Amino acid sequence: MTYVSALLAKDASRILPFDGYELKTKAEENAFVSAVGELQPGEILRLFIDHNPFNLIRKIAIRYGSKLIFQYRQNREGAVVIDFKKVRG
């Protein structure tokens, strides 16, 4: 997993951190989805969150499809880090 994660970020043009520890309401989730939508191809939005956001990932996958890839960098109880990378416009 570490090797693949490093590969995802290896050629990123920019990595933008997103503090998701407060993603508890629908409006806050929508703010994250909007931030993903603002990414340019090659950019990564790195989500730091305290739980595994399955519903949020599903929502983003449905909305952006093959334009976006994601990879867990860390998946521990209380400390989850996920990279979302836009691969095409």
Report the distance separating Cα 63 and Cα 11, nearest Å: 24
* Domain limits for position 22: 2-86
Average pLDDT along the chain: 85
DSSP output for 18-77? EE-TT--SHHHHHHHHHHHHTPPTTEEEEEEESS--HHHHHHHHHHHGGGEEEEEEEEET
pLDDT band at 45 (very low <50, low <70, confident <90, very high): very high
pTM listed for this prediction? 0.84
Looking at per-residue pLDDT, the higher value among 11 and 52 belongs to: 52
Comparing 11 with 40, which gets the higher pLDDT? 40
Model confidence at 7, pLDDT cuts 50, 70, 90, reads low
Q: For 51-65, give the DSSP string.
A: S--HHHHHHHHHHHG
Tell me, what CATH number does 7's domain have? 3.30.110.40
Q: What is the per-residue pLDDT for 3?
A: 43
